[in-house]
Chains A and B, each alone.
Chain A
Amino acid sequence: MSEKNREGKRSAREKMLEARASDETRAKRNKKLGVIGGVAAVIAVAVVVGVVVQNQRSKPETPVAAPVGAVADKNLVIPSGPANAPSVLTVYEDPRCPACGAFERQLSPTVDQLEDQGKLYVNYHLVSFIDRSLSGKGSKYGANALACAQDAGHFRDYHDVLYRNQPEETSDSFGNNATLLSLAKQVNGLDSPTFESCVNDNRYGGWVSSVQQDFDKSGYKSTPTVLLNGKPIYPKNGEEQISPENLVKWVDAANQGKPLGTTGPGKESPAPSSTAAESNTPPSP
């Protein structure tokens, strides 16, 4: 074998090895690109499908069904008292929120009284965000039951009854419709097959979710948020603590020189009867 021949053989083998090596690198790189492509595809598909599906699921921000007589933009607000009263009290509250319970137990008789005197128009926003942090359904089902009571014309009484019988924040007894229905028996004329099916079917679930989304965007972060003619008065109005006496004083001051709203039987649900008397404030006349 000549020297030349040997050299030629070696270089041929080297060339072949080189070619094989570069083939291997190419194959490796292609595999790598394939994996990266696969990963990117899985992520892209998941995210796009997710956004579309979730968008679809949360679609009706304007709820299909709102309770009878709901007012304001998209009918998200439950009104109580005479609409032409000179002062407006805006209340954001969650059925499970303990501070809301305390607020209601202290002030609902006064608020009801101010409504009945034609001094105050109340706008309730039925917030349901405690279910998120503590998990459960009590805020949502409670709000739905309140919307059902609005349909039946007994919102105010049922609202007062619910807050007076509020469970511990961590106990989700309002998440059980049976509890909500049994409390409804305390309000004369509320319990009916229509009301029961409305509660059991969670008829205003979509509306409740829209009310909550509206609260999410409001910038208010806690409940109760209470505004008198747009100005926050809970827990304090300026330097003064909220109390039945102060609320009456503030409303009277705001109403000075303005005509009272129309009150009359049949227009609103009547003032709470027996159950209202249990409350600790104010000394009844």
Chain B
Amino acid sequence: MKFKAKFIEERIFKILMITSTSIILLSLGAILGSILYKGLPSLSWEMISQTPKGGFYLGKSGGILNAILGSFYIAFGATAIALLVSLPVALYINIYRKKFSKYSNLVRLCLDVLWGVPSIVYGALGFSVMLYIGLKTSLLAGIIIVGILIIPVMIRAMDEVIKTIPKGLVEASLALGSTKTETAFKIVVKQALPGIITAILLSFGRAIGDAASVMYTTGFTDNIPKSLLSQAATLPLAIMNLVSSPIVEVQNKAYASALILTFIILFLSIISRLLSIKYTKNKSH
């Protein structure tokens, strides 16, 4: 057996590749592991079920219910707004226009670019606009900004699913005399429903995790928001506030809050994965 240079080279690179892949997986493990390790000891029912009490930021009792609820309100509101815009647009560029027409592709390009706009830019500009029209920092402002932020994510995710709907199905429905609207909402939406739900969950996760856009638009408060116009706390911002404290107990609370946020995100991601597995199964049979 001759050991030619080319085989040795291949060997070396293969080892490098496997190492890189392992390191990537290890870094995911390190993230989850260190959050779990630091967060679990401080995680308690009190953290989840109570709002901050007096002296909470000095290490006394209380929890972050205000931030958990605030984040959920914002994520639900923003997802609802985004859904109202995204579904029609995704249907429009696939059903009403030709799937790969110049126009549809231009829309896709713009959405992709919009997706890349940093959320701090949305936050900063959104705050200026709010000042201009006289809207105070509030839950409503946060919902609108985050809604706008996740619209491109949601449209593109739905677009990827709706793209795969076979042309024959649409044509059959049109040939039977239904209008494009009926075809879009009754046939295409039904067929793409699991994918659409996945897209919604993906955007929901994005909405709950984003902090830079709500930093100046929703404000921060220890109370659970009572109306759309009251300020609200969000989980990521609560985590940031807590971790910047010099007191160790308070920092531990930040780790516990980070663990809660991670659980929420993992939960969403597992559900959407299960859905997509079910979806592909249905498709192949």
Report if A and B associate in a common complex: no
